[in-house]
Amino acid sequence: MPLFDKKDKSRYATFSRRSLAVGGGMALVFAVLGGRLYQLQIRDGDEYMTEAEDNRINERLLAPPRGRIFDRFGVELANNRRNYRVLLVAEQATDGVEEALDTIGEVIQLSDVQKKRVITELAQNKKFVPVPVAENLTWEEFSRINMHLPYLPGVQPDVGETRDYPYGPEMVHVLGYVASVSEQELAHDDDPLMSLPGMRIGKRGIEKEFDKQLRGRAGASRVEVNAYGRVIRELGKDPGVPGQDVWISLDGELQRFVDQRLGGESAACVVMDAANGDVLALSSTPGFDPNWFNVGVTGPQWRELATSDYKPLLNKAIAGTYPPGSTFKTAMALAAVDNGMDDLVVDCTGSIRLGDHTFYCDAWRIGGHGHVNLTRGIQVSCDICFYEVARRLGIDKMAEAAHALGLGSPTGIELPGELGGLIPTRAWKMARFGVPWQQGETLVSGIGQGYVLATPLQLCTLAARLATGKAVSPRLTHQVGAALQSYPLAAPLPFSDKAFAMVRQGMGMAVNAPGGTAYGSRILQPGFEMAGKTGTAQVRRITREERQSGLTPQSELPWAQREHALFIAFAPLDNPRYAVSIVLEHGGNAHTEPQVQFARDILTFAQKRDTLGKPTAYPIKEAALSAGGAVR
């Protein structure tokens, strides 16, 4: 065979093999592509269509309006108001972000801190995302922004909602406040609302206790976006479910009067319905404006709150613990009567000795009170009388009586942060310090000093229980949304009628009989008279040398070394309806008894206003009674 024929056949065979390989490869590629197309368009088409739709349409959460808080008469204590604010879109700021902020600063006041915050947030977000520059503008400021809008490229005026507290500092320790979500709170709450920019939640008080109910359920806005995430149009909107409203037992006007009457003092006052425990006023002064935390606390504001000796951030009414002083003698008198000391008479000479220690009475300067029984012991607040009561009772029986009257443990009021105070026992001291209880400690505890501690709320509960003879417990909430709150009926206390009668007689004499410790500040209007018990609590030890050389008047001591001044009372005298307690920090003044004057004015105002005689705005009907609620 010719040579060229062999070469042609070889080339042809090679070409055929290559063509077959290329064709097979192409067929394989087309088969893979076809299979992939079948998978994408037919088998998994619905799934990818959904994903594509999700890329085109975004659902954005919307915060619903927060529920409101009302007082017993339907007055709004916390609500929502319009929030006039200014937003800035970086990509529309043609002259640059810093120049835009400087221009805005010529129209409304902007601090350097605000400008730095805006620049930081703009850098963290896409250029088309609006970032808040200033919030809670006045109408005048908002109007100026709108008037200059043609000269403010990138600026967007906006109207939203923000929390508002009409009573300001006067309600802060009951209502609390809302503020931004912390990282820790975000990690422990799976509510999608928590991740919303600018979301605010309850931090204290009622706002925190019922935050989830007040918060509501998130809504959603369906918007169409382009490939860069920029909104093209809104397709639909679900506003969500607004937060539930909360009705509480406070009387806003009485609360305001109490707060203003205490003025700038470092003090706490609680007023209760003596029959069922409704808290009508709960004040801790000084307070602070809760709206600061809503819009952001400045550095100077925070330093002022954190460093003040008057502790405005502390709710003294539920978390301030103080020696109850002579107010505790009422509890000791109840226990004394039911332990066979109803006819006790003590000869007060001004002091007694126990071992090598001398215990003094306030009347030591004049040689004592003379012969004193239990009712007069309450009237003149004789320490020697109650040293003897304490010695005979012993610390464990004293503790049993105190616990029955609501001392030594939290009351359970619907506010976070309540403390329980302390009623010591032998077992407590051994567990706490590893040493036995001493008889001298029993005597000191009998007049409400030593380890004994109580909150103003507990002392008001004590006053209500003394007035009614029932285990009245404080309560603050009556309705959350459509749900009525149910409370058990108060049970009788484990003390005899005779014991209550003697203690009430002594408290009545302390205020309304000459020689009583509160006689100078009694209520003179007939039918409004109060019964009460004064108390002072030492915050430093007074040496024998000081007593011999003459005590320094309280008014001349540094503020932090003055005694606390306390008072518990109920009114009217014959048919108690209101109970009150007052603790005036470092306010001791034996001559003027300012805490008694405060109580006198507060109880007079409450009775004249007839808070408990007015119909309430929340529905307490058969539904509450059938659920086991207390009769109103």
Residue type, 470: K
Q: CB-based contacts of 581: which residues, under 8 Å, 6+ apart?
A: 269, 270, 327, 456, 457, 459, 460, 462, 463, 566, 567, 568, 569
pTM (predicted TM-score): 0.84
Longest dimension (CA), the chain: 154
Q: Are residues 99 and 158 in the same domain?
A: yes
CA distances from 140 to 12, 112, 158, 280 (A): 92, 22, 14, 38
Q: Are 209 and 279 within one domain?
A: no
Radius of gyration over every alpha carbon of the chain, rounded to an integer in angstroms: 36
For range 579-599, the mean pLDDT: 87
What's the average model confidence in pLDDT over 246-271?
A: 96
* Mean pLDDT value across the chain: 86
- Single-letter amino acid code for the residue at 28: L
Could you tell me the pLDDT band of residue 624, with boundaries at 50, 70 and 90?
very low
Same domain, 211 and 273: no
For residues 237 and 270, membership in a common domain is answered with: no
- Identify whether 41 is part of a domain: no
For residue 102, give the CATH number of its domain: 3.90.1310.10
Query: Would you please indicate which residues are annotated as catalytic (active-site) residues?
Result: 326
Amino acid of residue 301: Q
Number of domains in the chain: 2
Are 238 and 257 contained in the same domain?
Answer: no
Question: 342-401, pLDDT tens digit by residue?
Answer: 999 999 999 999 988 889 898 877 889 999 999 999 999 999 999 999 999 999 999 999
In a domain? residue 12: no
Quickly tell me which residue has 């003459």 as its tokens. Answer: 550
How far, in Å, CA of 631 to CA of 489, rounded? 7
The CA dihedral of 179, 184, 185, 189, to the nearest 10 degrees, is 160
Residues 612, 277: Cα–Cα separation, whole Å? 12
Residues spanned by the domain of 342: 252-300+317-626
Q: Which residues pair with 372 in a beta bridge?
A: 346
Same domain? 186 vs 112: yes
Rounded to whole angstroms, how far apart are CA atoms 341 and 89?
80
By the 8 A CB rule, do 305 and 312 touch?
yes
Query: Do residues 477 and 379 both lie within one domain?
Result: yes
Q: Which amino acid is at 171?
A: M
| pLDDT, tens only, 450-466 | 999 999 999 999 999 99
Q: Tell me the residue ranges of DSSP E strands in 341-409.
A: 345-348, 351-354, 357-360, 370-373
In a domain, 39, yes or no: no
In a domain, 201, yes or no: yes
Cα–Cα distance list, 100 to 84, 91, 127, 228 (Å) = 19, 11, 14, 24
Asked whether residue 215 is domain-assigned, the answer is: yes
CA distance 114 to 98: 12
Q: Using an 8 Å Cβ cutoff, are 455 and 323 in contact? A: no
Mean pLDDT of 585-601: 84
Please indicate, yes or no, whether residues 69 and 196 belong to a single structural domain of this protein.
yes
User: Same structural domain for residues 474 and 547?
Assistant: yes
The pLDDT assigned to 8 comes to 60
- When pLDDT is cut at 50, 70 and 90, the band that residue 552 belongs to is low
Over residues 132-160, the mean pLDDT reads 85
| CA of residue 220 relative to chain centroid, distance | 31
Question: Tokens 């709320």, residue?
Answer: 457
Q: What is the CATH number of the domain that holds 494?
A: 3.40.710.10
C-alpha–C-alpha distance, residues 167 and 287, integer Å: 11
Q: Are 217 and 363 in a shared domain?
A: no
* DSSP class of 322: B
DSSP 10: H
- Structural domain ending residue among the three candidates 248, 275, 292: 248
Q: 262 and 387 share a domain? A: yes
Q: Which structure tokens are listed for 516?
A: 């009583």
In this predicted structure, the answer to whether residue 300 has a pLDDT above a threshold of 90 is no
Please tell me the predicted confidence (pLDDT) of residue 239.
Answer: 74
Closest by CA to 151, choosing from 222, 95, 111, is 95
* Contact criterion met (CB below 8 Å) for 106 and 61: no
Check pLDDT > 60 for residue 4: no
H-type alpha helices, 108-264: 112-124, 139-147, 172-175, 183-187, 205-209, 211-215, 252-262
How far is Cα of residue 287 from the mean position of the Cα atoms in its chain?
Answer: 12
| Of 192-206, 438-452, 531-545, highest mean pLDDT | 438-452
Q: Is residue 14 part of a domain?
A: no
Q: Is the pLDDT of residue 75 over 90?
A: yes
My answer on whether 400 and 458 are in the same domain is: yes
User: CA 598 → CA 204, 268, 583, distances in Å?
Assistant: 27, 11, 10
Would you state the pLDDT for residue 622?
38
Judge contact between 99 and 93, C-beta under 8 A.
yes
Work out the burial of residue 407: count CB atoms within 10 Å of its CB; fewer than 13 is exposed, 13-18 middle, 19 or more buried. buried
Question: Is residue 2 situated within a structural domain?
Answer: no
The residues near 27 (Cβ < 8 Å, ≥ 6 apart) are none
